[in-house]
Structure 1
Amino acid sequence: MKSKLSSLGGLVYSTEAGRMCPGCRQPVAQCTCGQKPVPTGDGIVRVSRETKGRGGKAVTLVKGVALDAAGLTALGKQLKAACGTGGTVKDGVIEIQGDHIERVMAALKAQGHTVKRAGG
């Protein structure tokens, strides 16, 4: 049984450390092999609004951007400046505080991304 589990590839996510590197099995922040997980997707950036788990406050979510962690952080900073609000980048998703779907979509289209509105 144990040999079957090890052939599956090992630990992918740890609640203590977050995402794990598939090569060296260390947290992505402390990766020693230099192999970073490559972002995957269909090339379409999806923008949606969510209020779950935030006390009724809305946030704009940007998913599917095929950039590395540094690129996502830079894009998040540009989008926050364009909306004049705060936000963060978590697990490959950019979160912008407030309902700014139209502004975010316009800013992403201006940068050449293919953008779709997701959700209701």
Structure 2
Amino acid sequence: MNPQQQGLAGLGQALSGLDLGPLPPAPATPSAPARPAAETAKPKNLGRVVLRRETAHRGGRTVIVIHDFPTSLTKPAMEDLARDLRHAIGTGGTVRERTIEMQGDQPGKIRAFLEKAGFQVAGLA
């Protein structure tokens, strides 16, 4: 026996004097395994939006314009969406009329965010 096995051999004798009592009763009915909500629940379809890249009249800077929002989406809801998008992407942006303008050329991140939010995204593949 090596020294490590000798040290563990006495462990059984040390624990034999402990009275742990009986085990608690098992649950009466087995519950169904909980399924993660993030994987099973698909976001509801909020409508179709279109992404467009613009540089005109912006001093050469690129802006991604998100337009064609459904009419059911209110102005406060668009402002909330723009704020969440700005925080998620890490860039500036604004709401103008029925469009959201995001600074920078990051259409992939914007598309992923909007799809996760429940929009069908067209344009800028």
TM-score with structure 2 setting the length: 0.58
Instruction: Give the number of equivalent residue pairs.
Output: 77
Q: Could you tell me how far apart the structure 2 residues matched to 1:77 and 1:96 are?
A: 10
1:60 maps to which of 58, 64, 67 = 64
Gaps of 5+ in 1: 1-42
Q: CA RMSD in A?
A: 1.4
The within-5 A match list for 1:101-116 is: 101-116=107-122
- Matching residue of 2:76: 70
Q: Could you tell me how far apart the structure 2 residues matched to 1:45 and 1:82 are?
A: 18
* Identity %, equivalent residues: 36
Residues 40-72 of structure 1: CA deviation (Å, up to 9, x unaligned):
xxx320011100100100001111222110000
Q: Decide which structure has the larger Cα Rg and report it.
A: 2
Q: Could you tell me how far apart the structure 2 residues matched to 1:97 and 1:45 are?
A: 17
Q: Could you tell me how far apart the structure 2 residues matched to 1:99 and 1:53 are?
A: 16
Equivalent position SS for 2:53? strand
Which protein, 1 or 2, shows the higher relative CO under an 8 Å CA cutoff with sep ≥ 6?
2
Equivalent position SS for 1:54? coil
- Which protein is richer in helix relative to its size? 2
- Matching residue of 2:93: 87
